[in-house]
Amino acid sequence: MTNVTDRFLKYVKFDTKSDEESTTVPSTASQVVFGKELVKEMQEIGLKNVSIDENGYIMGELPANTDKKVPVIGFIAHMDTSPDMSGTNVNPQIVKNYDGGDIVLNKEENVVLSPSEFPELKEYIGLDIITTDGTTLLGADDKAGIAEILTAVEYLIAHPEISHGTIKVGFTPDEEVGRGADHFDVKKFGAEAAYTMDGGKIGELEYESFNAAQAKVKIKGRNVHPGYAAGKMKNAILIANDFIGRFPADEVPERTAGYDGFYHLNTLKAEVEEANLHYIIRDFERENFERRKQFVLKVVEDVNQKYGEGTVTVDLKDQYYNMKEKIDEVKHVFDIAYEAMDAAGVAPTVKPIRGGTDGSRLSYMGLPTPNIFAGGENFHGKFEYVPIQSMEKAVDVIVKIAEFYTKK
């Protein structure tokens, strides 16, 4: 058997960064390269009906080893990593028996992972931590989840004394750019419920997610020689500044937590002639979510009144909705995961997801899908890390979930 650490260290060597600007499916060819390696591995460990489709979605099956009628369940993770940080030439480092002090990730560039800035590090004293080398992200989001799922199913194959029903495995592309569920074939997957192994620190168990939308804003300016610009120039950069300043300063990710919603200006590309802004809009309450979208439209209207009709246009689209509405209808799916964590020696931390997950959309597509920790911290950047013991516990939780379904 291959342990979860060795799997993870192998997977992070694949650059699978997704690309929001791409129009292909998946958005990057590198995800298919990684996917084909996963298909080969899944077949080698004994999974059945393994496939990768034309869109890069991978599915496989571990047949039941009991005659008892047991619900078919699935475990899902995504192959891509964030487009916000390089995933090329990832060089993971292992800090054995972490002592609670600073971890020098890159001496030459003076990149230090410090508990003074990331106090949760103190929770992992005595554990073994996999970090970056300070120049790339790590890829625990979500290659840790993939490694945990395949390690768990291989463990179940090697231990037939553990009764389980049919277990489906699914790996998706492009979750980081909001397209992970776009082409997921729920009917083909054939599960009654599933779990995404895509959460953060050990113990996280989530069945509430944001309602989410994105707003792509375009501002048209007019460029004229600055020496002769009086009464003629429309500087899209300055109009964008006015536009941004109309949003509430405290309703941003860095000033919100828990059940707070926000507006997040994710990208800004601006010249005098044109500016393009990308916002993401998030709220747990549907009424507040709708209010936030109307606020964006009102800002567009007000700025157009000031600078001229057609100066600002917006493409406003919903992305996903709060999965709680769907999970509440089949609460046992959540309850079994909670019990499995407890049995595996993991204290469940039930909290809302302050981020995207395939589980939100899949739940509305007919596949109720709570989210379980994968173990990583500080996703999407050079300070990302994952404790080995957290990944090992995630494997235990998957095994326990499979086992507990036979007891219900």
Nearest to 122 by CA among 87, 98, 106, 157: 98
Quick one: pLDDT at residue 357? 74
> pLDDT tens digits for 256-281?
999 999 999 999 999 999 999 999 99
> pLDDT tens digits for 57-92?
999 999 999 999 999 999 999 999 999 899 999 999
> pLDDT tens digits for 273-304?
999 999 999 999 999 999 999 999 999 999 99
- From residue 215, give the alpha-carbon distance in Å to each of 163, 201, 265, 297, 305: 48, 30, 9, 10, 19
Beta strands 371-373 and 312-320 are unpaired
Quick one: pLDDT at residue 407? 87
- From residue 83, give the alpha-carbon distance in Å to each of 144, 186, 345, 386: 17, 26, 35, 19
- Residue of 41, 80, 251, 377 marked catalytic: 80
Q: What is the 3-state secondary structure (H, E, C) of 17-52?
A: ECCCCCCCCCCCHHHHHHHHHHHHHHHHHCCEEEEE
Q: Could you tell me the pTM of the whole model?
A: 0.88
**Active-site residue flag, 175:** yes
Quick one: pLDDT at residue 354? 86
CATH number of 211-320: 3.30.70.360
CA angle 195, 196, 200 (to 5 degrees): 125
**Active-site residue flag, 109:** no
Which backbone phi and psi does 369 adopt, to 5 degrees?
-140, 85
> pLDDT tens digits for 127-140?
999 999 999 999 99
DSSP annotation string for 75-90: EEEE--B-TTS--TT-
- Residues for the chain: how many in total? 408
Q: Are 46 and 140 in contact (CB under 8 A)?
A: no
Sorted by where each begins, the domain ranges of the chain are: 4-208+322-405, 211-320
SS3 392: helix
- Residue of 175, 198, 358, 396 marked catalytic: 175
> pLDDT tens digits for 13-26?
999 999 988 999 99
> pLDDT tens digits for 148-178?
999 999 999 999 999 999 999 999 999 999 8
Q: If you classify domain 4-208+322-405 with CATH, what class do you get? A: alpha beta
Quick one: pLDDT at residue 355? 75
Q: Is it the case that residue 408 has pLDDT exceeding 80?
A: no
Q: Alpha helix locations (H) across 315-387?
A: 324-327, 331-343, 358-364
State how far the Cα of 316 lies from the Cα of 404, in Å rounded to an integer: 43
